[in-house]
Amino acid sequence: MKNRSTVNIDYTLLFIIILLGIVSVFTLHTIAPTLPAKYDGSNFMLKQAMWYIAGGFVILITMLIDYDRFRQITWIVYGFGVLSLFMLYIGFPPGIVHEANGAVSWFKFPLIGTIQPAEFMKVILVMTIAHVLVSHHDKHPEKTLKSDFWLLGKILVISLPPMGLVAVQPDLGGFLVLASITGSMILISGIRWRILFSIFFLAVLVMGSLFAAWYFFSGPISEFLEESLFGHVSSRLYGWLNPEKNYNAGYQLIYAMLAIGSGQLSGKGIGAMEVNVPERHTDMIFTAISEQFGFIGASLVVTLFFLLLYRLIHIALLSNDKYGSYLVTGLVGMFAYQIFQNIGMSIQLLPITGLPLPFLSYGGSSTITYLLAIGIALNVHSRTKKYMFDESR
């Protein structure tokens, strides 16, 4: 084994995060004059910089603790996360539960501000499923059909409660992120592929049936959805498929496409934004980058995200500890889906779900959560041992 006197830090990953932080703060500074009057006096650039500084301390603290120690508090943290989501569901305690844009997703505390438990639940779910996978394989070293179904059942029992509580807030974007985390970790869980393929085809069949029903019976189904808790799902689908015809639901997408298209190859220049895109500092920050710096600037940002995912995948593969590999793989699933969904919804590839773009969109809970995830990945990398003679590498 190679003995090292220095800590094994992935400086490339740190450099990518620093670059994304610079892009975020700079973009928030340039779009400040274009934000609606209701945001006057809200210095998003300064607040985001402060969140990054706080996140830096979170990374430092996370790296000081051996990530294997996280397993000892997994169920406590999971219970606290689910309890916080349940408290939002029942509206307790009154006066602290905060509603915005029709969703009850935040606690609002004096001095601290708003906290969104669903963001932290993403990392908590990764930690919990990783712990269950390791424990299951330790107890069942011999794989059987029964043990595979038992493991699948464990994963679903863990994932469904937070997914359901997030869905009823309602927060479709958060629900889909938790689903992507669950799916990515099921893929690397060691469950037989014939079981996974069966589940996949069943899911495709169900989704296909739902879309067919919606297409042929759009009227009754739309009325049902609009009268239910998930009325926003129907409007977002119509706004995505035909934004011009359904202007009330699709106006954000229309302006997002106009902003991105108007940037053309090299953009209009710093601060030169003429298209007023709603929620530009949060969910639609990619449109601000595209309008100012065009296809070239947007491509550079996408390249940074590809490099981020590459480094995380590299850390997961390099780790010679199953728990560490599971942890980072879950984080890859979280980041990959959010990046694809946010950019995809900005260019009409996917419906708008209200998901922030990791590391770029303004938000305290989201930024701290993402930096916590990076701290975990750096922790796994720093404690990965390298051997001179390792046949598995």
Give 35-90 as a 3 state SS string: CCHHHCCCCHHHHHHHHHHHHHHHHHHHHHCCHHHHHHHHHHHHHHHHHHHHHHHH
Q: Which amino acid belongs to residue 306?
A: F
pLDDT at 199: 85
Please report the sign of the dihedral spanned by the C-alpha atoms of residue 225, residue 227, residue 229, residue 234.
positive
pLDDT at 4: 44
The answer to whether residue 342 sits within a structural domain is yes
Cβ atoms 44, 359 nearer than 8 A: no
Burial class (CB in 10 A: 0-12, 13-18, 19+), 154: middle
Cβ atoms 1, 385 nearer than 8 A: yes
The answer to whether residue 293 sits within a structural domain is yes
SS3 assignment, position 211: helix
The answer to whether residue 5 sits within a structural domain is no
pLDDT at 3: 45
The answer to whether residue 387 sits within a structural domain is no
pTM for the structure as a whole: 0.91
pLDDT at 179: 93
The answer to whether residue 103 sits within a structural domain is yes
**Weakly modelled stretches of the chain, pLDDT under 70:** 1-7, 214, 218-219, 221-232, 386-393
Burial class (CB in 10 A: 0-12, 13-18, 19+), 35: middle
Please state the domain count of the chain: 1
Phi/psi class of residue 387: alpha, beta or left (left: φ > 0; alpha: ψ in -120 to 50)? beta
The answer to whether residue 176 sits within a structural domain is yes
Cβ atoms 255, 263 nearer than 8 A: no
The answer to whether residue 74 sits within a structural domain is yes
Q: Which amino acid belongs to residue 363?
A: G
Residue 120's domain comprises 11-382
